[in-house]
Amino acid sequence: MMPTPQRAVLSASLLVSATLAIGVASRDYIVGAQEPDKTVADGVFTEAQAVRGYTAYETACSQCHRVDLTGGNGPALRDERFTREFAGKDLKTLYTKIATTMPRAAAGSLGDNVYLDIVAHVLKENGFPAGDQELTLEALGGLRVLPGRPKPPPPVGDFSYVEAVGCLAPGPGGTWLLTSATEPVSVVVSPESAPTLPGDAATRALGDQTFHLLDAMAYSPDEHKGHRMYVRGLLIKLPSEQRMTISAFETLAPNCTR
């Protein structure tokens, strides 16, 4: 039976509708199959950009936020504060916050490129890697901020600034030793902030290291004999022994049992 004109029009209309539906479904599938927005862990700034950002930050921002981003008159821009305020948001949120509030006396005065450099520096200080392309204004909205990643401590070498936990004991010739000590761990202390005792210091397992403590007499060592001690200072490695200067010397426990 030959189709009537009305049926032909209806069939054509249905065909067009079906084709459009398939096209929309295909488009949605393709969009859904695309990779999610990039994150700040994908190398979204260059090393050179972060270096420029450090210079700009030190000049314009460090007075309020400190050189190490730990905060002073202004809030911290790293670690827990960074994560709490920016994680899960797009990078434009961080950029806008910096560009509209910093520096305090002349907010917005540094120019787009300088603010982008500062954002790159902040990302680097929060443990995110550099990449091959500089961060741009156009990219900000498509980049998701992740929780900050604590930077690993620098490697320990001769004349590294380190911390260790061990047992205070007298040594030969009126010297003092830190025995059964943990491996030395490099620490970075900002000149603007007072050193604080690490929260896990008291629970660190003792080890097998021994350090000859220099200038220990300045800290009344007899009062701490046999105590479990936290010591921070400059590490000096000699062929036959390890020595430490003392810049922090704190009792963790009145005894030193393992």
Structure tokens belonging to residue 90: 């797009």
pLDDT at 139: 94
Q: Who has greater pLDDT, 222 or 194? A: 222
Same domain? 169 vs 112: no
Residue 155, in any domain of the structure: no
Mean local confidence (pLDDT), 110-120: 96
pLDDT bracket for residue 208 (50, 70, 90)? very high
pLDDT at 153: 66
Residue range of the domain that includes 62: 39-144
Domain end position, chosen among 109, 144, 179: 144
pLDDT at 174: 93
Per-residue model confidence as pLDDT tens digits over 50-83? 999 999 999 999 989 989 898 888 999 988 889 8
CATH code for the domain of 91: 1.10.760.10
Residue 172, in any domain of the structure: yes
pLDDT at 199: 67
Residue 156, in any domain of the structure: no
Q: Who has greater pLDDT, 138 or 186? A: 138
Mean pLDDT, the chain, as a whole number?
Answer: 84
CATH code for the domain of 174: 2.40.50
Residue 153, in any domain of the structure: no
Same domain? 59 vs 132: yes
Mean local confidence (pLDDT), 216-237: 95
Q: What percent of the chain has pLDDT over 90?
A: 62
pLDDT of 151 > 80? The answer is no
- Judge contact between 171 and 211, C-beta under 8 A: no
Residue 24, in any domain of the structure: no
Report the predicted TM-score, pTM, of the whole model to 2 decimal places: 0.51
Residue 68, in any domain of the structure: yes
